[in-house]
Structure 1
Amino acid sequence: MTQAWRMVARSHGGPDVIAREAFDPGLPGEGELLIAQDAVGLNFIDTYYRSGLYSAPLPTPLGAEGAGHVAAIGPGVVGFAVGDKVGCAVGLGAYATHRMVRADQAVRIPDAVTTQDAAAMMLKGMTSCFLAEDILPLQPGQFALVHAAAGGVGSVLVPWLRDKGVIVIAHCGSPEKAATVEADRSLSGPLEGLASVVRELTGGRGVDIVYDGVGKDSWAASIASLRRRGMMVSYGNASGAVPPISLLELSRGGSLYVTRPTLYDYVATPQELARTAERLFDRMARGVVNTVIGQRFALADAAEAHRALEARQTRGSTVLIP
């Protein structure tokens, strides 16, 4: 095996704390796979671990999402063979040429899906799956507001919802990004006026559900856009963490529901992971969702990729190539 290396955060801070280091992945133990990675997915959650918003021991191996081929198999593993095309989107350590994962956290990638597409899609696609399918049983004709609709999750979630017959109001940070989103209504502009526009588009009622990966900056607009007994789904912190909220705020808003979900709680068992991946690959095969790789960076340039992501200069998905 060639020399393995990875990108880690040696301290908490900005992109400059990301450093390259050589490491020995070793041989897979009981129930483990060693993956030689072809591509790594870039996600906003990576910046949370780098900055220290999410805690992990230092130096912190970065990245959750990667895809490649099985290089070695540990004792007790069944269902995988050396050379199989696989991906993993849970845990840390994806920013690496080689990655050791538990076999029950790996997903076999269909022949029709490339490893780059899988790395670009798995975390965002499986997140979109549980957001659209598992949090609330949305019916055709219901309304959803999707923030950051041109981003990694948004660009998958919008067509997924529309395939279900949900009426999607998309919001983006710029008119240029909004123009790329095929929603029922694609909006841009200040968040301060968004709720009034949403009310107008829904006949004064408000939307049934809001999908908000922006966080602090969009919280007030999201809450104000919901119908009575609507569902607020806060799944990201791109603008910073949502400050503490009062339960009375939810009462005054119309007996609102709020959830702060993470993918890991929706793929907590091998069966849940397999089912989620199956639904994602089905939508990919049917053309419901398409992988849009807006940019590629060398893995060694991970700091540059983080800067572009945090400056809102990326579109669609971003992959890092070892």
Structure 2
Amino acid sequence: MAHAIVIHEQGGPEVMRFEEIAVGAAGPGEVRLRQTVVGLNYIDVYQRSGGYKLDLPASIGMEAAGVVEAVGEGVETVKVGDRVGYVMGTPGAYAEERIYPAERLIPLPDDISDEQAAGSMLKGLTVSYLVRRTFPVQAGQTVLLHAAAGGVGTIACQWLKKIGATVIGTVGSDEKAEIARAHGCDHPIVYTRDDFQARVMEITGGEGVPVVYDGVGAAVYEGSLGSLARFGTMVHFGAASGPAPAVEPKLLAGKALYFTRPGLAPHTATRELTLDIANALFDKIREGVKIEINQTYALKDAAEAHRALEARETTGSTILTV
């Protein structure tokens, strides 16, 4: 029998139980996966705590890497023995084995490890669509990136530097400022101590930045809008500090700002869309973008990983080994 983290009620990390599960056989269009590494993301916390409602009992988690053990009828995109990764779809990644739609799988090249894949599927694909589609950054531009020492942030800093951008990044401590700087952040700002909007204006000579990438939310919302240049774009893609307030049109009007709330789900809605951003990520890894896996836990110890993530004690990516 396989095991999985199962929740029977939503709440704190203590609701997660490591239990035996019945996986079943792959149906038409599905595969049975033997998972090797599972990625940890803040969306997992929302699923566990009740931020997102689930039909209980349920497993949680949105990304993993593993090997195809069996294929159902009509599956042609992968075969038994293939190494694959995935992201999004139905929650349930916190498992030793699971059934998953074949069309959502991402074939893993030989030079991309399971650990790299599980540590970067959600975070790396998020960066891929943010800097290539939501606001295509050009060489010479200056951008503001919140949570620059986090999993998305460390990948984004490196990717943006390879484009040729100047990166201003906010972090929560001096230690995290050094982490961000080591990954390509030109101007790390400890936003819990310093006025990041004032610093952005100082760095840009009073012009502001053409884009803000915000995965933090409430704590940085007003300062982010104030940091934008005329016709700038506010990209609000997450809310680690709580939801941002409703957008007041008049706050955008003064500088003709744009506001967008993108997400990974639309960018992985089809196999073609998914492979486009995934292959771009793999290319950047080959060019030297490092997937920093700074915390590793056993799957059965997922509650400890959640406690560390919620306490903001983690940097880079965290993985759960199966």
TM-score computed with the length of structure 2 as normaliser: 0.95
Q: CA RMSD in A?
A: 1.3
The CA distance in 2 between the partners of 1:158 and 1:20, in whole Å, is: 36
Q: Is 1:317 matched up with 2:309?
A: no
Q: Is 1:256 matched up with 2:257?
A: yes
The CA distance in 2 between the partners of 1:206 and 1:221, in whole Å, is: 11
The CA distance in 2 between the partners of 1:21 and 1:114, in whole Å, is: 27
Partner of 2:267: 266
Amino acid corresponding to residue 132 of structure 2 in structure 1: E
Q: Any conservation in 2 of the 1:175–1:189 contact (CA below 8 Å)?
A: no
Partner of 2:97: 98
Aligned to 1:35, what secondary structure does the other structure show? strand
Return 5+ residue gaps in structure 2 as ranges: none
Q: Any conservation in 2 of the 1:121–1:317 contact (CA below 8 Å)?
A: yes
Count of matched residue pairs = 318
Identical-pair percentage: 44
Partner of 2:214: 212
Partner of 1:240: 242
Aligned to 1:180, what secondary structure does the other structure show? helix
Aligned to 1:134, what secondary structure does the other structure show? helix
Kindly provide the CA deviation profile for residues 180-200 of structure 1, in whole angstroms up to 9, marking residues without a partner as x.
122121221427611000001
Kindly provide the CA deviation profile for residues 93-117 of structure 1, in whole angstroms up to 9, marking residues without a partner as x.
1000012111110001111111111
Amino acid corresponding to residue 240 of structure 1 in structure 2: G
The CA distance in 2 between the partners of 1:243 and 1:319, in whole Å, is: 32
The CA distance in 1 between the partners of 2:298 and 2:142, in whole Å, is: 40
Aligned to 1:21, what secondary structure does the other structure show? strand
The CA distance in 1 between the partners of 2:303 and 2:245, in whole Å, is: 28
TM-score computed with the length of structure 1 as normaliser: 0.95
Aligned to 2:32, what secondary structure does the other structure show? strand
Q: Any conservation in 2 of the 1:192–1:221 contact (CA below 8 Å)?
A: no
Partner of 1:200: 202
The CA distance in 1 between the partners of 2:251 and 2:17, in whole Å, is: 43
Trace 1:1-322 onto structure 2 (pairs within 5 A): 3-91=1-89, 92-181=91-180, 182-190=184-192, 193-252=195-254, 254-287=255-288, 289-322=289-322
The CA distance in 1 between the partners of 2:238 and 2:140, in whole Å, is: 26
Amino acid corresponding to residue 56 of structure 1 in structure 2: L
The CA distance in 1 between the partners of 2:317 and 2:77, in whole Å, is: 30
The CA distance in 1 between the partners of 2:82 and 2:65, in whole Å, is: 11
Structure 1 residue 47, shift from structure 2 partner:
0.8
Structure 1 residue 223, shift from structure 2 partner:
1.1
Aligned to 1:297, what secondary structure does the other structure show? strand
Amino acid corresponding to residue 248 of structure 1 in structure 2: K
Structure 1 residue 217, shift from structure 2 partner:
0.9
Kindly provide the CA deviation profile for residues 100-144 of structure 1, in whole angstroms up to 9, marking residues without a partner as x.
111110001111111111101111111110001011222211111
The CA distance in 1 between the partners of 2:36 and 2:12, in whole Å, is: 26
